[in-house]
């Protein structure tokens, strides 16, 4: 992995680099050996990534940021300029989803053609390896792969499933299945989230949203944003951080660029709607679109997966009418600085906000680029 901004030339790159001086507090460009579609924070200075392309083994790595990224005062000369591999392992399957169980050294992964959730131990046997320890059966689907979310409260548990009729909650330590969603319908799932240790939110690719309480059978709440947004495409969603909301708010994103903000008490009636200015949605089979709430910025969300950009929006400026809106900030670094091996423009595959630094994000693209950036708010 090498840092640098000279992997591609051209006037667009030069113009963007000059422009970026006024747009960023920090901007760092790294090149991964293989592209990733997962970024999971394992500390304020480290992330986990994993490969997803090709038929061979796929690396799972915990990377430590170089010293110059996290020591700003009196750091002097920083000899460490590259990302450092702290722990590593290999998966025989592409990794499409990766989550860390909070406050532990356990990782959970899933991917296509994989009928289970794989559990990994970081630093197994006191070595610098990430090693598989056990697996949890999951219902496979031909339409999508198993989505998952974890909760460390009470007993550590994972909610997992590829389709509505195959959603389960399983205790991680015992691998005991403690809940199965009693719901009809064959829709594939776009995203899964715990609202609290006993409540789960599902967003189907169709736009159908479901709330399930694992203490009772059946569906606790249901709605759909799709009828409110014509030609909405496929959907995924993210839950607003607990520190920003008493009652959970959901941000839903479609592959056509529609964004809807809903209250879980009435998921069929969006509070706010907008249309991003991205011209092309991701191909349905790729499903790399990503929507995130900013952990430390009130009512800000970010989206990616449509092209080589990450777009940040302030939802306080929206209303219930669906109309095209301007992004608060757009990170164009991946499209301006890189090209894929086949000559195509890179597409952002995943992005993630730093857990407590207000405007710091990490993003990755299909050309193997990894950017760590701290954007400046426009006056």
Residue 239 lies in a domain: yes
Residue 14 lies in a domain: yes
Residue 274 lies in a domain: yes
Residue 281 to residues 206, 213, 232, 290: CA-CA distances in angstroms? 15, 33, 11, 11
Asked whether the predicted pLDDT for residue 102 surpasses 50, the reply is: yes
- Residue appearing with tokens 């403690």: 178
Q: Of 268, 258, 246, 144, which is closest to residue 195 (Cα–Cα)? A: 246
* Token digits of residue 203: 């967003």
Asked whether the predicted pLDDT for residue 5 surpasses 50, the reply is: no
Burial class (CB in 10 A: 0-12, 13-18, 19+), 378: exposed
Residue 106 lies in a domain: no
Quote the strand ranges of 84-156, DSSP E: 84-91, 97-100, 106-110, 116-122, 130-137, 147-151
Residue 164 lies in a domain: no
Asked whether the predicted pLDDT for residue 263 surpasses 70, the reply is: yes
Mean pLDDT of 354-376: 94
What's the pLDDT at 228?
A: 67
Mean pLDDT of 262-274: 90
If one counts the domains in the chain, the total is: 1
* Token digits of residue 132: 């598989």
* Per-residue confidence band for 185, with pLDDT thresholds at 50, 70 and 90: confident
β-strands 157-161, 168-171 pairing: antiparallel
Asked whether the predicted pLDDT for residue 176 surpasses 60, the reply is: yes
Asked whether the predicted pLDDT for residue 334 surpasses 80, the reply is: yes
Mean pLDDT of 159-174: 93
Residue 372 lies in a domain: yes
Can you give the pTM of this predicted structure? 0.90
Asked whether the predicted pLDDT for residue 269 surpasses 50, the reply is: yes
Residue 207 lies in a domain: no
What's the pLDDT at 3?
A: 44
What is the residue range of 23's domain?
A: 8-33+231-379
Residue 298 lies in a domain: yes
């Amino acid at each position: 992995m090498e840092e640098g901004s000279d992997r591609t030339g051209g006037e667009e790159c030069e113009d963007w680099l000059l422009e970026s001086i006024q747009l960023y507090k920090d901007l760092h460009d790294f090149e991964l050996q293989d592209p990733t579609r997962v970024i999971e924070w394992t500390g304020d200075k480290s992330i986990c990534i994993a490969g997803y392309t090709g038929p061979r083994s796929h690396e799972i790595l915990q990377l430590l940021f170089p010293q110059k990224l996290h020591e700003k005062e009196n750091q002097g000369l920083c000899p460490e300029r590259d990302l450092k591999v702290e722990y590593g392992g290999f998966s025989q399957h592409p990794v499409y989803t990766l989550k860390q169980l909070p406050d532990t050294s356990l990782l959970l992964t899933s991917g296509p053609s994989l009928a289970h959730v794989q559990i990994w131990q970081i630093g197994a046997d006191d070595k610098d390896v990430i090693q598989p320890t056990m697996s949890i059966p999951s219902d496979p689907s031909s339409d999508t792969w198993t989505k998952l979310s974890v909760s460390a409260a009470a007993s550590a548990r994972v909610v997992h499933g590829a389709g509505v009729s195959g959603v389960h909650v399983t205790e991680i330590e015992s691998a005991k299945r403690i809940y199965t969603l009693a719901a009809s319908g064959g829709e594939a799932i776009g995203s899964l989230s715990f609202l609290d240790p006993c409540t789960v939110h599902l967003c189907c690719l169709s736009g159908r949203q479901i709330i399930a309480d694992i203490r009772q059978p059946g569906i606790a709440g249901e709605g759909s944003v799709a009828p409110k947004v014509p030609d909405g495409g496929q959907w995924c969603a993210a839950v607003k951080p607990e520190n920003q909301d008493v009652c959970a708010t959901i941000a839903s994103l479609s592959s056509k660029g529609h964004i809807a903000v809903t209250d879980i008490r009435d998921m069929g009636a969006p509070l706010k709607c907008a249309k991003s200015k991205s011209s092309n949605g991701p191909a349905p089979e790729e499903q790399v679109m990503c929507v995130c709430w900013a952990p430390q910025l009130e009512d800000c969300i970010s989206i990616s997966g449509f092209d080589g950009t990450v777009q940040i929006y302030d939802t306080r400026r929206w209303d219930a009418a669906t109309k095209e809106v301007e992004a608060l900030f757009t990170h164009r670094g991946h499209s301006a600085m890189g090209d894929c091996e086949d000559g195509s423009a890179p597409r952002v595959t995943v992005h993630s906000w730093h857990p407590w630094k207000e405007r710091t994000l990490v993003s990755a693209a299909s050309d193997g680029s990894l950017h760590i950036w701290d954007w400046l708010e426009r006056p």
